Each structure stands twice: as C-alpha cells, then as structure tokens.
Structure 1
Amino acid sequence: MRAINPWINFNGNAEEAFTFYRSVFGGEFTKIIRFSDLASAEFQVPESEANKIMHIALPIGKNNALMANDVPGFMGRVSENENRSKIAVSAESREEADKIFNGLSAGGAVEGPMGDGPWGTYAGMFRDKYGIEWIVEFDPTHKG
C-alpha cells in the first residue's frame, strides 16, 4: 500500500482551513479544483457555490496528503462536532510534535496536552478551530 490519506469535508471554508494547515506543515498545494472549474451546460454550478473547493490536497511528509472539499449547500451541512475519527500525525521528534501541536491547536480546544503516555509515546490530542480532531504523537522507539 502506498499511502492512506485523510479527507475532510468542510462547510465552505476548506480553503481557509487548508491555508492554516499549510502555515503549520509547510509545502504547497498539489491540487485545487473549484466547483466553477467543473461547470458546464450539463453541470450547472450556482454562483453561490462556484468559488467553493471541490478538491484540495496538501502533501505532508514523503507519501501522504491531507485532502478536503467543501460540501455543496444542497447536500446540507457537515456536522463539525462529529467525533468518529481523528487525524493522527506521527512526528519525527518531540520538538516537531510540539511545533505541530502548538500550531494546529491555536484557536482550538486541547483535549489532552502533549505529554509522556504510559505506552512510551509523547502525544497530545485537540480539536482545531475548524472542528477537526487531531492526535500528534512522537514514538521514540519507532525507527524509520
């Protein structure tokens, strides 16, 4: 398997959220497709939806990408308080873990501050200012 990439649905603020994520992770978007890019006689796009994101991707690390889209209004709103899944980030050092945790949790709600866990990892958990849940972890025993 080459990679598993998390995909997030947003309520019209995917570009804003991904600009924030890029400010923490660095890198450049590999793809941004707006609903207006797909508009045709067969696929009418209302003006209110035209600038929304149909697909955006931000590479993270060597083989992974964080992806997202805005859900069109006719499909209803995404529940920003769902808690069925989290995005897990495996850092290469305690310092990197702290940098990512502090950057992404800014304006959000910390559910578990960074600290040493009983299973030997250094980890923390939070919901960012866009309602997305993250776990940031550094495992000093993981090689590779």
Structure 2
Amino acid sequence: MATVNVYLTFNGNCRQAFEFYKSVFGGEFPYIGTFGEMPPQEGKEMSQEDQDKIMHVTLPISKETVLMGSDTNGEWASSLKVGNNFSVSINAASKDEADQLYNGLSQNGQITMPLAETFWGAYFGMFTDQFGINWMVNYDDPAKMEQHP
C-alpha cells in the first residue's frame, strides 16, 4: 500500500526552512543533498549558488509521516509561486502500483516528468492533475536502493 507525504519546494531557502522545522519537530535528517552533488548534466553549467541549493531533504515528523523538500533552480525557478510550492508525494509499494497511480491521477493533467528510472535509483515521475494539484509518484526498488545508499 502506498504512503502519502507533503513535498515542499523553496526558492533558495530550503535549508533554512528545514532547520526551522527540525527545531520544532525534532529529529534528524536521514538525507540532505545539494544540486552540486548530482551527476553533471551534459551541456549544463550550474552556478555555485545553484550547486549549494538543496536537491532533496527528508525529515521524519512521526512514525508515518515524512516532510520532504527541495529548492528549485534553472527553468523550474520562474514557475515557483507561493501556493503552488508543494506536491503530494506518493511512495508506491511496487512498480506496478506506481504506474497505476501515476497513469490514473495524471489523466487530463499535465506531465512535468514522465515516470522513469532515476540516477538515485528510484522509479519516479511528476505531474499536475486536472484540478491543479501537483503530484510526485515514487517507487524505491529495494534491490536498487542497496546500490544507492
């Protein structure tokens, strides 16, 4: 069965926001990574400012719930507005469930990232549904996750 969490997007102050959330909720970041730690993209230079931005951070806030977030950069930055800076993030229990949820929820919506294998080892995609809600669908294959700690 899938789990659902909120994914927050920031314009350069993700680290500051998550340090604040951590001060309120407590706990630790199991993962925090920057855009500079990503594999280089051919033909795309990234400024030092963008390299230092958060690509992904997670903060467990209860046994069932994880607050996730990132900064935006590049072509994504211009479309970020307060009010559209969050997504519903679904972690599917299988690749088939990820396909079913992604295909079903994205009907009549706008695909922003097709479901595909990612460099971090997940099967992942994003879209905005027909009602204007942003979604992320993710499946972490346990065999692949052992290769990408």
Q: TM-score, normalised by structure 2?
A: 0.50
- 1:50 match: secondary structure: helix
What is residue 20 of structure 2 aligned with on the other side? 20
What's the offset of the Cα at 1:28? 0.2
- Asked if 1:80 corresponds to 2:82, the answer is yes
Cα distance in 1 between the residues matched to 2:85 and 2:49: 29
Aligned structure 1 segments of 4 or more residues deviating by more than 4 angstroms: 81-86
Write the distance in 2 (CA, Å) between the matches of 1:41 and 1:83.
25
The corresponding residue for 2:6 is: 6
Indicate the structure with greater helix content.
Answer: 2
**Matches of 1:82 and 1:41 in 2, distance apart?**
27
1:129 maps to none
Residue segments in structure 2 that go unaligned for 5+ positions in a row: 89-149
TM-score normalized with structure 1 length: 0.52
Q: Within 5 A, what are the aligned runs for 1:60-71?
A: 60-71=61-72
Identity of aligned residues (%): 40
Contact 1:33-1:54 within 8 A present in 2 as well: yes
Q: Say if 1:39 and 1:45, in contact at 8 Å, map to a contact too.
A: no
* Pair 1:2–1:26, CA change in 2 (3 A): farther
Q: What amino acid maps onto 1:66 in structure 2?
A: L
Alignment size in residue pairs: 86
Bigger Cα Rg = 1
> Does the 8 Å contact 2:6/2:87 carry over to 1?
no
Q: CA distance change for structure 1 residues 85 and 23 in 2, over 3 Å: closer, same or farther?
A: same
For the aligned residue pairs, the C-alpha RMSD in angstroms reads 2.6
Structure 1, unmatched stretches of 5+, are 87-144
- Deviation of 1:63 (Å): 2.1
- Check the 8 A contact 2:9/2:86 in 1, yes or no: no
